Amino acid sequence: MNSPSPAGQNGGDSQASIKRGLWSSRMAFILAATGSAVGLGNIWKFPYITGENGGGAFVLVYLLCIAVVGLPIMMAEILIGRRGGASPIRSMRTLTERDGHNPAWRITAVVGVLAAFLILSFYSVIGGWAVSYIGTSASGELVGKSAEAIGGIFSGLLGNPWTLLGWHTLFMALVMFVVGRGLRGGLERAVTILMPALFVLLLIVVGYAMTTGHFGEGVAFLFQPDFSKLTTAGVLVALGHAFFTLSLGMAVMMAYGSYLSKNVSIVKTSIVVSVMDTGVALLAGLAIFPIVFANGLEPGAGPGLIFQTLPLAFGQMPWGSLFGTLFFILLTFAAWTSAISLLEPVVEWLEEKKGMTRVSSTVGAGIACWLLGIASILSLNVWSDVTPLGMFAMFEGKTIFDLLDFVTASIMLPLAGLLVAVFAGWIMTREALESELAMPAGGFSLWYNTIRYVTPIAVAVVFIYNLV
């Protein structure tokens, strides 16, 4: 949600004199990080992958991944960023040069920037769906519709590449607009209101879900683990999603950390961000699955799940068109603030590496991403049978859209995360880590052992299992 170049200039803060400026407050950092973390990953992706992977057991693995992999790595990324005090690639270089480590560690940030670019290309397409549902809802088109009719509206949208292209273009333009201007003030303030509003609206839908008579079934689906439904591929998806939803593995938190004041606790802020992010995802699940069961829908319906269930709920509840419109506005906003944090590292990299201006790097990166997004759009309709890497068992049946999602979320993010964990746990000095984290000794040892052993081993094991 926020450009990693805020604060400082609004004075007041005694640290503002430091060259690059800092977040105006701890709250500003939390909001920026939460704005990046809470997005389509929580409301669109989490419910549909949970549905596809059988529910409870998957959710449990996902929560475990957040706690033992996601949270420790978030702390490591923020810590590296703050210590490096520059853009991610430069921070990694500073840290390696200053302390005499191998400069090749920079590759961590490079993988991140590339992943950001690939993710944004399809993220913007889904963001476009959210924008289009603002109109669908506002026009009253959803009122009193059957599950079938609602499904028809959604497949109508997916079947039309031109409509999809229009919404994708609009969404990408919104993202480029903010990034190109170097955001700050306005957006930071807007998010202070919009994020809590999204939370409240989710609660309203959960309230509606309670009236469907199938709430218990939804809760059981989410929280009663049935391990027979869990596959090793499902574990990889859960692990990848922990990175995706917390915006890790891509140097976003590193960039944000570089503007964090020394006297803010990295530990506490990381916990707050992770808890809020997980809370939104679980609420989305509680809102969606009771509606799925009440209407005899399929939990494993795939990427269209929320666009087939939530509109149904809005079509039936009192004031539904109003709530629905508001909901999709807020979803668009959540997606927007996350997408900004995806474009930002690419733009920063172009500015720093190629010496381009802010505007031209935004336009260049945005258009390239927009072009790649067209491949995702076509894979939803015209190219729905095209599976470019289908000859490899691992990629069997995956369209371009599926491939981009899988390669980024399930491979690149965990890989970059693994590198961050090894760099923080094994390369950086213990003193440096201790001074950044400023935790009580017991807490520090817990984190240190986790990042040195548990995190890398967990990621490596899940990877190796899926390769063989």
Residues 286-345, interacting with ligand TRP (CB under 6 A): 338, 341-342
Q: Which residue has the tokens 């961590």?
A: 108
Q: Which of residues 86-125 bind ligand TRP (CB under 6 A)?
A: 119
Q: How far is the CA of 320 from the CAs of 56, 182, 244, 458, in angstroms?
A: 30, 36, 31, 44
R_g of the chain computed on alpha carbons: 21
Q: Which residue type does 30 have?
A: I
Residue 77 C-beta: closest distance to ligand TRP, Å:
10
Of 294 and 409, CB closest to ligand TRP: 409
Q: Which stretch binds ligand TRP (CB under 6 A): 213-221, 239-247, 301-309, 384-392?
A: 239-247
The b/e string for 344-376 (b: 16+ C-beta within 10 A; e otherwise) is: bbbbbbbbeeeebebeebbbebbeebbebbbbb
Under rule CB under 6 A, residue 40 binds ligand TRP: yes
Q: Which is nearer to ligand TRP, 423 or 448 (CB)?
A: 423
Give the nearer residue to ligand TRP in terms of CB position, either 278 or 325.
Answer: 278
Asked whether 255 and 5 are in contact (CB, 8 A), the reply is no
Minimum CB separation from ligand TRP for residue 255, in Å? 10
- Residues 348-387 vs ligand TRP: string with x where CB under 6 A? ----------------------------------------
- Binding flag, residue 42, ligand TRP (CB under 6 A): yes
- Of 39 and 324, the one with the shorter C-beta distance to ligand TRP is 39
Of 247 and 308, which has the nearer Cβ to ligand TRP?
A: 247
41 binds ligand TRP per the rule CB under 6 A: yes
**Token pair of 102, please?**
């191998």
Closest approach of ligand TRP to the CB of residue 236, in Å: 16
- Judged by beta carbon, residue 252 or residue 346, the one nearer ligand TRP is 252
Q: What are phi and psi of 311, to 5 degrees?
A: -60, -35
Four-point Cα dihedral 57, 62, 67, 70, nearest 10: 160
What is the three-state SS of 63-121?
HHHHHHHHHHHHHHHHHHHHHHCCCHHHHHHHHHHHCCCCHHHHHHHHHHHHHHHHHHH
Select from 198, 174, 200, 199 the least CA-distant residue to 187: 174
Residue number with CB closer to ligand TRP (119 or 428):
119
Q: What is the dihedral of CA 378, 379, 382, 384, to 10 degrees?
A: -170
H-type helices in 139-231, by residue range? 147-159, 161-181, 185-210, 215-223
Residues 244-263 as x/- pattern, contact with ligand TRP by CB under 6 A: xx-x-xx-x-----------
**Selected range binding ligand TRP among 63-71, 243-251, 259-267, 292-300, rule: CB under 6 A:** 243-251
Query: Nearest residue by C-beta to ligand TRP?
Result: 41
Per-residue contact string for residues 10-39; x = within reach of ligand TRP by CB under 6 A:
--------------------------xx-x
**Number of residues binding to ligand TRP, judged by CB under 6 A:** 17
Q: Which is nearer to ligand TRP, 39 or 54 (CB)?
A: 39
Helix (H, G, I), strand (E, B) or coil at 212: coil
- Catalog residues that contact ligand TRP under the rule CB under 6 A: 36-37, 39-42, 119, 244-245, 247, 249-250, 252, 338, 341-342, 413
